[in-house]
C-alpha cells in the first residue's frame, strides 16, 4: 500500500482517520505536523512528496468557517481551491492517488429528492462555491482521484453539532433548533472507515462519490435524538431558518444519494441514529475514564 499522506491531520476527520487506522492496524499513514503540511506551500509540499513517495494523499484540510467565508472570500478560495490544485499537481507528478473531501454545500438544496453525483451544482455560499472550485481543479491535473462529498460531520473529536448540543443541553433549559433544513448527519469515524476501505481494497473506480450515513433528518430532529439517546433533559423548540439568520445561506435539502459509493466501492453505511448512539457511548466512556 505504501505511504499515505494525510493533510489537515489535526482537524476532526484527520483525528478520526488516526482513530480508525489504529483500530484496523492500517499501516503507512503519515499525519504530518501543520508546519510541514501547509497545502498553500507548493515547495514544502513537494519536499514531503519527495520524502515519502506516497501511494495516496488524503486531503482533510479546508477552510470550513461557513459564515466567516462570506467576508474572507480570497482566503477561503486559496485553501479550498488553490491548495487542492497544489496537491493535485503533486499527485500527478508522483503517481499518487488523491482522496479529496467535499461537501453537500455545493448544492442549492431547492429540491426534495436525494442528490446524485450528476445533479447540477449551484452553491449558495462562498464556502460551497470554493469547495466546488476545489472539486473542479482536480481532473485538470490527474485522473487518479476520489472526491467524497459528505454532510453534517460530527464525532468525538473537535467542535461539532453533537458536542455543542450536549454542552448547551447541560447549560440551558430550552433550545431553539432549525427544523426546515433537511439532510443526513455523518459520523466522521464512518467516513474515515470509507476512506480506508478505498485504500485497503486498492480500488481503481476513480471519480466523484457521495458519502453520508443512511436516513434523513432535520437539525431539530437530530438535536432531539442527541438528547433522547444521551438522557439529556432539555426542552427543544423547532424554528424556521428565517428565525435564525446567518451570513451564509445553507441548502434547505441536501440529502445525498449513496447508491454509487455502495455499488462501486462496496461500502456498507450505517443509519445515522445507529452511528449517533455509538458516538454518544464513546463520549460517555471518555467522560467516565477522565
Q: Which residues are catalytic?
A: 127
Nearest C-alpha neighbor of 279 from the set 150, 192, 174: 192
Q: What letter would DSSP give residue 290?
A: -
Q: Quote the CA–CA distance of 268 and 213 in Å, as a whole number.
A: 10
Residue 122, class by beta-carbon neighbours within 10 Å (0-12 exposed, 13-18 middle, 19+ buried)?
Answer: middle
Nearest C-alpha neighbor of 178 from the set 123, 234, 246, 114: 246
Count of CB atoms situated within 10 Å of the CB of 195: 26
160 within 8 A of 13, measured Cβ to Cβ = no
Q: Quote the CA–CA distance of 195 and 101 in Å, as a whole number.
A: 10
- In terms of phi and psi (left: phi > 0; alpha: psi -120 to 50; beta: otherwise), the region of 32 is beta
- Look-up of cell digits 486531503: 59
Strands (E), the chain: 4-7, 29-31, 56-59, 97-103, 145-150, 153-154, 174-178, 182-183, 186-187, 207-210, 217-218, 235-239
Torsion sign, CA atoms 234, 238, 244, 247: positive
Amino acid at each position: 500500500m505504501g505511504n499515505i499522506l494525510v493533510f489537515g491531520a489535526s482537524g476532526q476527520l484527520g483525528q478520526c482517520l488516526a482513530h480508525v487506522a489504529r483500530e484496523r492496524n492500517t499501516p503507512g499513514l503519515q499525519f504530518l505536523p501543520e508546519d510541514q503540511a501547509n497545502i498553500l506551500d507548493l515547495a514544502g509540499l513537494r519536499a514531503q512528496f519527495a520524502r515519502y513517495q506516497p501511494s495516496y494523499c488524503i486531503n482533510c484540510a479546508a477552510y470550513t468557517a461557513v459564515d466567516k467565508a462570506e467576508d474572507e472570500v480570497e482566503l477561503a478560495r486559496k485553501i479550498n481551491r488553490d491548495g487542492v490544485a497544489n496537491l493535485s499537481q503533486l499527485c500527478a507528478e508522483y503517481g499518487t492517488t488523491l482522496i479529496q473531501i467535499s461537501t453537500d454545500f455545493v448544492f442549492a438544496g431547492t429540491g426534495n429528492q436525494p442528490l446524485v453525483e450528476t445533479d447540477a451544482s449551484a452553491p449558495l455560499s462562498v464556502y460551497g462555491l470554493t469547495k466546488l472550485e476545489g472539486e473542479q481543479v482536480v481532473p485538470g491535473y490527474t485522473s487518479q482521484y476520489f472526491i467524497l462529498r459528505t454532510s453534517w460531520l460530527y464525532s468525538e473529536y473537535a467542535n461539532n453539532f453533537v458536542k455543542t448540543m450536549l454542552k448547551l443541553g447541560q447549560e440551558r433549559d430550552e433550545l431553539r433548533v432549525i427544523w426546515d433544513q433537511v439532510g443526513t448527519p455523518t459520523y466522521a469515524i464512518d467516513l474515515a472507515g470509507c476512506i480506508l476501505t478505498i485504500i485497503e481494497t486498492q480500488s481503481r473506480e476513480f471519480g466523484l462519490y457521495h458519502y453520508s450515513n443512511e436516513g434523513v433528518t432535520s437539525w431539530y430532529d437530530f438535536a432531539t435524538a442527541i438528547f433522547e439517546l444521551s438522557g439529556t433533559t432539555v426542552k427543544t423548540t423547532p424554528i424556521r431558518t428565517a428565525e435564525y439568520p446567518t451570513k451564509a445561506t445553507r441548502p434547505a435539502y441536501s440529502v445525498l444519494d449513496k447508491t454509487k459509493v455502495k455499488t462501486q466501492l462496496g461500502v456498507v453505511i450505517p443509519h445515522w441514529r445507529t452511528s449517533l448512539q455509538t458516538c454518544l457511548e464513546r463520549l460517555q466512556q471518555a467522560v467516565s475514564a477522565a
